[in-house]
Copies of this chain bind each other. A is one copy, B any other.
């Protein structure tokens, strides 16, 4: 394995699964820090604000600071603050997303007919009225920004729908597709991670457990990639996939450097 100065880690399936740490995760992060490596952590979580997410991570005992975490909620708020700072935004999403958008000083509106942008994320309180309101924003031709496109989230005992429940419904109803995807595999969240690292991309490694999300995000951003097998991807997935990681590791414990 080449030597890298910056590391971008996916979290769920790499550092922990559910409430259980992956053996060696804490030690690996500590070793990389001792050697002066820069670390940043990206997640497609679209329901938790950055501080809420950091709280959970610290409860798990992982040595990660809030400023090192970039969940899709936070990344979406930053993207919107750069591109749609003055526009009225209609959101279909969880409280964590709303919190990040408000913190970024964005203008949220409750009336779809006043909206200039639609933002979607996973929404545990999705209902017919919200879908109907979002539909009217899309049929009025307004831009559509989504935190991510994840279809399913594995939980400890079963899989549950992700942002795809909202995106899929709206896509089918309106015939439109999101104009902007912020989360992985989009390069948008990766560029934010690279900026936080402050290390040239050629000297960075992306470490994740999902080929179509993490590895593809790395490729999209021109970064080397390592796939760990402690989460979603199985060895046979690597063989089958056209997207090939630079390294395949049994777990984060095998990460050199």
Contact = CB atoms under 8 A, between A and B. Distances in A.
A62 interface: no
Nearest to A136: B158
Contact of A161 (B125, B131, B160, B167): B131
Q: Assembly of this chain: how many copies?
A: 2
Interface of A: 123-128, 131-132, 135-136, 139, 151-152, 158-162, 164-175
A136 to B, nearest CB: 6
Contacts of A125: 127-128
29 contacts: A123-B128, A124-B128, A126-B128, A126-B131, A128-B161, A131-B165, A132-B160, A132-B161, A135-B152, A135-B160, A135-B161, A136-B158, A136-B159, A139-B159, A151-B172, A151-B173, A152-B174, A161-B169, A164-B173, A165-B172, A166-B169, A167-B172, A168-B168, A168-B169, A168-B170, A168-B172, A169-B169, A169-B172, A171-B172
Contacts of A165: 128, 131, 169, 172-173
